[in-house]
Structure 1
Amino acid sequence: MSLPLDYPRDPARPAGGSLTSLNERSREIFRQIVDSYLTSGEAVGSRHVARLLPMALSAASVRNVMQDLEELGLIYAPHTSAGRLPTELGLRFFVDAMLELGDIGPGEREQIEAQVKAAAHEQPLEAVLGDAMSMLSGLTRGAGVVVTTKDNARLKQIEFVRIEPERALAILVSEDGSVENRILHIPAWLPPSALIEAGNFLNARIRGRTLLEVKIEIEASHQAAENELGELTTRLIDAGLAGWADNSGGGQQLIVRGQGNLLQDLTAIEDLERIRLLFADLETKKDVIDLLNRAEGGEGVRIFIGSENKLFSLSGSSMIAAPFHDEQQRIVGVLGVIGPTRLNYARIVPMVDYTSKVVSRMLQRR
């Protein structure tokens, strides 16, 4: 199975032009080099490639083709007289032009659906997503990551508590059982009754809705709110909801599961340093969130390879990510898998895609 039609090719990568004119022999030799790398992580020489080819070619002929591929920037020699490995450009070309996706087996589909369904009935959304990422990490042997925004949570109740003359605590209880506390700056002269009235006003409107939805409604009926609450309470609601709903990225949360998988299957001592750098990358939550947010640009799966993004410029890692949606088909988060550049793309791409669809269905039912 080839890549789906909605798979977004990366227009910034120069994997076109003369690369698309590679003949069948060159493509087959390049495919064998990439397949060997994805399987073992090791460089492959011309003699070994010649034995793998479906056509009869001498090792000398294979070396000539490998030289051409190297000049195109698709492969390189890690050491003098060593075999060849694909470059990041080569991997991008392989993914965009040659990758054939596998399919998810019935057992894996059932495992994904059962894990998400079981967690959805008992746990808050954050725990459900964490369980889903643990499951995805176990199936792919990479690190499962998800980023979502708390501002999309469907709320059940809200309460304001004054903690200082100019600060109040907003307690938000979501329908999934999670509780979040936020600090709200208020005027020192605001009477205590304004906090009580604001809570009553919101609790009459907020059940089953997001902060952003309530904010939009209040803005649309601003005059009615003024008449009902009075100017002071309305100013409190406007200031508070505007700050929460418009705080770009402020409500986002990152969940990472299965980092230990990245320490398995090391093929060289250099991999240990690469993994250390990747752990450092994962600790920089803002960069991971920014990267995952880039995956919201399309409906399909996105693949980020190595230095195509600043987050993995040193660690030599890749990410496969896909968005998930709420009942209005709005993107409310992105999930994915992080691992070395020799990830099993053919297997993991459909797995990430299927998991995002299962999570979307779960959110729509909730």
Structure 2
Amino acid sequence: MADNSEILSLMQRLDQRSRNIFREIVEGYLATGEPVGSRTLSKAGIALSPASIRNVMADLTELGLLDAPHISAGRAPTHKGLRLFVDGFLEYGDPSREDKRQIDDRLAAAGTEIEAVLGEASDILSGLAGGAGLVASPARDAAVRHVEFVPLAGGDALCVLVTEDGDVENRILKVPDGLPATSLIEAGNYLSTRLKGRTLAEASAEVRAELQERRAMLDAATTALVEAGLADWGGDAPGRGRSLIVRGRANLLEDAKAAQDLDRVRQLFNELERQQSLLEILDTTREAGGVRLFIGSENRLFPLSGSSVIVAPYMGGTKQVIGALGVIGPTRLNYARVIPMVDYTAKVVGDILSHRRGKDGK
């Protein structure tokens, strides 16, 4: 990301005429995705001849703020130019009334289960922003209160984990055909006893060691179920079982007009599969304490994909950052709309999760 001194230096080098032309070019590009030419600018009300406008455009190009992406007389902003526009020109406030209404209504309808709320948040961001919605679930640092395995149809079982702070999270596991209900009960009782009052990270390694040494005195089927539950919850893995919800990948294809654009989207899709790396990107909001924007090469995970990432933290009942959410999309995102939208969604998600825990009294 460009630092404030660089932005200030660039602003000081632009006179009012250059600023007006630069703003028109960037706003035109963000609206259409196409380079903006001198004739378009003259028709937009710039009181200069096309030749004079072209001279200013050449100066802006020399500064690294504009580029000619195709064989065209028009210009489009570079990533450096977009950063200058966002930091030096863009004005944004709260989301629109309609955006707020959709975010409020849809998140309220999602209920209070964490996974449902986070999944809906990812859907909302994807739909309203026109990119892919990213939501990182909270790290599971709370102590476990209870574990239960519930039989489902089709050879599945629902593993329910309840933490001391009131979170209830579910996972669906495959179980062997004909596994008796007593094995499900025994597996749940065993894990509840071993994990109660401890975090998954603290206890899972010890439980696995006990299983391997056969000190648990469980039958083979129950042992396999306990091991499957531990593996699925990932209690001793990096991130302590955190997950990443990505919705709206198809939106990223809509702006891919040329072969090179499709190549960048394919690369981006590959990067989206690297869950741990994405979680690390979202975690940068913990230090920033607010919305962060990465444009193009500023993002070390997607430096060649031509994408922008906007992320914001959400907080739990103790007003500590517990997760993050955001949007990834083309660099011509509507920043004035999307930045406040991401920030507002993060606040609403945090309020819902905080209210849920407070209501449970845990």
CA RMSD, Structure 1 to Structure 2 (Å):
3.2
Equivalent residue number for residue 120 of structure 1: 111
Equivalent residue number for residue 362 of structure 1: 352
Alignment of 1:190-209 (within 5 A): 200=193, 203=196, 205=197
Instruction: Return the offset for 1:202.
Output: 5.9
Equivalent residue number for residue 234 of structure 1: none
Alignment of 1:12-161 (within 5 A): 14-53=6-45, 55-101=46-92, 103-121=94-112, 124-152=113-141, 155-158=144-147
Q: Say whether the 8 Å CA contact 2:256–2:262 is kept in structure 1.
A: yes
Q: Say whether the 8 Å CA contact 1:13–1:89 is kept in structure 2.
A: no
What are the ranges of 5 or more consecutive residues in structure 1 without an aligned counterpart? 1-8, 160-169, 182-194, 216-239
Q: 1:274 to 1:311 in 2, by over 3 A?
A: same
Q: Say whether the 8 Å CA contact 1:145–1:338 is kept in structure 2.
A: yes
- Kindly provide the CA deviation profile for residues 275-318 of structure 1, in whole angstroms up to 9, marking residues without a partner as x: 22211121122221121111222222111101112221111001
1:35 partner amino acid: E
- Matches of 1:19 and 1:136 in 2, distance apart? 32
Instruction: Give yes or no for the alignment of 1:322 onto 2:315.
Output: no
Alignment of 1:173-188 (within 5 A): 173-174=162-163, 175-179=166-170
Q: Say whether the 8 Å CA contact 2:162–2:169 is kept in structure 1.
A: yes
2:345 partner amino acid: T
Instruction: Give yes or no for the alignment of 1:262 onto 2:273.
Output: no
- Kindly provide the CA deviation profile for residues 304-335 of structure 1, in whole angstroms up to 9, marking residues without a partner as x: 10111222111100111100000111111000
Equivalent residue number for residue 164 of structure 1: none
* Larger displacement relative to structure 2 (271-280 or 352-361): 271-280
* Larger displacement relative to structure 2 (318-327 or 130-139): 130-139
- Kindly provide the CA deviation profile for residues 120-151 of structure 1, in whole angstroms up to 9, marking residues without a partner as x: 24xx3122201111122111111100112341
Give the TM-score normalised by the residue count of structure 1: 0.73
- Kindly provide the CA deviation profile for residues 177-236 of structure 1, in whole angstroms up to 9, marking residues without a partner as x: 31469xxxxxxxxxxxxx989955864x57xxx668x99xxxxxxxxxxxxxxxxxxxxx
1:143 partner amino acid: A
The 3-state SS of whatever aligns with 1:157 is: strand
Instruction: Give yes or no for the alignment of 1:280 onto 2:301.
Output: no
The 3-state SS of whatever aligns with 2:333 is: coil
2:145 partner amino acid: K
- Kindly provide the CA deviation profile for residues 77-108 of structure 1, in whole angstroms up to 9, marking residues without a partner as x: 22455311111110111111111125423232
Alignment of 1:308-319 (within 5 A): 308-319=298-309
Q: Say whether the 8 Å CA contact 2:307–2:330 is kept in structure 1.
A: yes
- Matches of 1:346 and 1:198 in 2, distance apart? 49
The 3-state SS of whatever aligns with 2:162 is: strand
1:129 partner amino acid: L
Q: Say whether the 8 Å CA contact 2:145–2:195 is kept in structure 1.
A: no
Instruction: Return the offset for 1:33.
Output: 0.9
The 3-state SS of whatever aligns with 1:78 is: coil
Identical positions, percent: 48
Q: Say whether the 8 Å CA contact 1:149–1:249 is kept in structure 2.
A: no
The 3-state SS of whatever aligns with 2:69 is: coil
Q: 1:250 to 1:358 in 2, by over 3 A?
A: same
1:69 partner amino acid: L
2:137 partner amino acid: T
- Kindly provide the CA deviation profile for residues 10-48 of structure 1, in whole angstroms up to 9, marking residues without a partner as x: 528843324433111101100111111111111111121
The 3-state SS of whatever aligns with 1:332 is: strand
Give the TM-score normalised by the residue count of structure 2: 0.74
- Kindly provide the CA deviation profile for residues 245-300 of structure 1, in whole angstroms up to 9, marking residues without a partner as x: 88652432111011111122444443222222211121122221121111222222
What are the ranges of 5 or more consecutive residues in structure 2 without an aligned counterpart? 149-158, 173-187, 204-229, 357-362
- Matches of 2:272 and 2:193 in 1, distance apart? 41
* Larger displacement relative to structure 2 (103-112 or 128-137): 103-112
